[in-house]
């Protein structure tokens, strides 16, 4: 266990870094509905609009929890008033993931159940930017879809999803796996789906909610939160068809959600709570070797409560790169921030 933990002095040195500058003022997307909100997802549509979704209700896991949705107009940069896009009266909704497709459609994946160990994967689709949605339907039995972070769209058009299960039974740990939908137009056909599972490591990691980055040439890297207080990783060399056992990284994490984005020159950006609590949300820039930390930059911080569960993407427009992040603040706000990367990515 000791070998899995980052040295305390190294963690303190990284924590002294300067915050990443904002490209524009933050926006609070949630509107008090609930009042608790959490687990946001962020995506970009053709034409430049941004869309976000999250769950909201009395509290996480309450019977009144629904999925809320907002859209940012690309011309005015104003976010719309949130609306409910998924509800199962008497049963809570969880962890939405928005996935745009090349045909202009937008798919919402989410989970439904009274308890996390009993989650069912559900989905519905919009063809008009979220104004209207198809009927909600359950995914084939045994498949949950992307569990928290966005999937990869591979060269063959398939979707590779990071997924996981969280057993409540004694002796049955958390386990991550990957689900591939070979035909995204056939989400509800069992023949469209397949699974692959990495070894849990030795000793085994309790790992969930993997996030994926395509490094090219068949190399795909996954990062996951764990109960062991550190980010775990595995790398596929065959386009996500098979995965070696999980190993520890040097990045501490308090068993909280994270998302990875591909950066220039083979680097990866990890947006996560880097440390022992959720008081600071950070960007860790990982060098092209996949192991070395180039820099760590704070994105937001609170004195109590949390800033957590980020959904992140890299935006490149007019030669300028920005990091767009949607996340939870205090379980009462879903916040959108856009950070200027000009001074970071040279």
pLDDT at 318: 76
Omega before residue 109 within 30° of 0, cis: no
CA–CA distance, 216 with 226 (Å, rounded to integer): 26
pLDDT at 267 over 60: yes
pLDDT at 2 over 80: no
pTM for this prediction: 0.94
Tokens standing for residue 338: 């856009």
Higher confidence at residue 65 or residue 203?
65
CA–CA distance, 129 with 50 (Å, rounded to integer): 10
pLDDT at 14: 44
Is residue 54 within 8 Å of residue 73, measured between CB atoms?
no
CA–CA distance, 140 with 166 (Å, rounded to integer): 19
CA–CA distance, 105 with 126 (Å, rounded to integer): 6
DSSP conformational letter for 227? T
pLDDT at 18: 87
pLDDT at 109 over 50: yes
Tokens standing for residue 36: 């608790």
CA–CA distance, 282 with 307 (Å, rounded to integer): 10
Q: What is the pLDDT of residues 137-175, one digit of tens each?
A: 999 999 999 999 999 999 999 999 999 999 887 777 999
pLDDT at 16: 54
Higher confidence at residue 338 or residue 47?
338
pLDDT at 12: 43
pLDDT at 9 over 50: no
CA–CA distance, 191 with 188 (Å, rounded to integer): 9
Looking at the chain, list the stretches that DSSP marks H as alpha helix, in order from N- to C-terminal side. Answer: 8-15
Tokens standing for residue 138: 């359950």
pLDDT at 114: 98
Q: What is the pLDDT of residues 17-41, one digit of tens each?
A: 788 999 999 999 999 999 999 999 9
Q: What percent of the chain has pLDDT over 90?
A: 88
pLDDT at 71 over 90: yes
pLDDT at 74: 95
CA–CA distance, 239 with 247 (Å, rounded to integer): 19
Q: What is the mean pLDDT of the chain?
A: 93
Supply φ then ψ for residue 238, to 5 degrees: -130, 40
Q: What percent of the chain has pLDDT over 70?
A: 95
pLDDT at 63 over 70: yes
Tokens standing for residue 221: 């890297």
For the chain, give every domain's residue range: 36-138
pLDDT at 345: 79
Alpha-carbon separation of residue 71 from 49, 86, 117, 131, 144 (angstroms): 7, 16, 31, 10, 25
pLDDT at 10: 39
Tokens standing for residue 319: 């030669």
């Amino acid at each position: 266990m000791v070998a899995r933990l980052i040295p305390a002095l190294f963690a303190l040195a990284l924590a002294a870094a300067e915050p990443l500058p904002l490209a524009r003022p933050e926006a609070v997307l949630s509107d008090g509905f609930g009042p608790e909100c959490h687990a946001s997802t962020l995506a970009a549509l053709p034409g430049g609009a941004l869309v976000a979704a999250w769950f909201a209700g009395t509290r996480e896991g309450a019977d009144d929890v629904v999925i809320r949705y907002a859209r940012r107009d690309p011309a005015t940069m104003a976010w719309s008033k949130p609306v409910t896009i998924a509800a199962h009266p008497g049963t809570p909704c969880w962890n939405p993931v928005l996935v745009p497709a090349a045909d202009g459609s937008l798919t919402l994946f989410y989970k439904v159940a009274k308890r996390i160990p009993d989650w069912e994967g559900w989905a519905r689709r919009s063809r008009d930017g979220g104004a209207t949605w198809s009927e909600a339907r359950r995914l084939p039995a045994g498949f949950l879809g992307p569990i928290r972070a966005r999937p990869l769209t591979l060269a063959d058009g398939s979707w590779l999803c990071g997924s996981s299960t969280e057993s409540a039974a004694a002796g049955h740990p958390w386990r991550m796996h990957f689900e591939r939908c070979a035909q995204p137009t056939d989400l509800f056909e069992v023949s469209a789906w397949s699974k692959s599972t990495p070894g849990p490591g030795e000793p085994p990691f309790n790992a969930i909610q993997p996030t994926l980055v395509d490094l090219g040439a068949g190399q795909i890297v996954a990062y996951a939160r764990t109960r062991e207080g550190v980010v775990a990783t595995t790398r596929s060399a065959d386009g996500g068809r098979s995965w070696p056992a999980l190993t520890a990284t040097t990045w501490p994490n308090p068993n909280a959600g994270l998302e990875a984005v591909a950066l220039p020159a083979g680097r990866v950006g990890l947006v996560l709570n880097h440390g022992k609590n959720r008081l600071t949300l950070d960007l860790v820039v990982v060098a092209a070797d996949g192991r070395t930390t180039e820099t760590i930059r704070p994105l937001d911080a609170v004195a109590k409560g949390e800033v957590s569960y980020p959904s992140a993407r890299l935006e490149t427009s007019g030669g300028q790169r920005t990091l767009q992040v949607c996340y939870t603040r205090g379980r009462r706000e879903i916040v959108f921030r856009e950070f200027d990367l000009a001074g970071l990515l040279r």
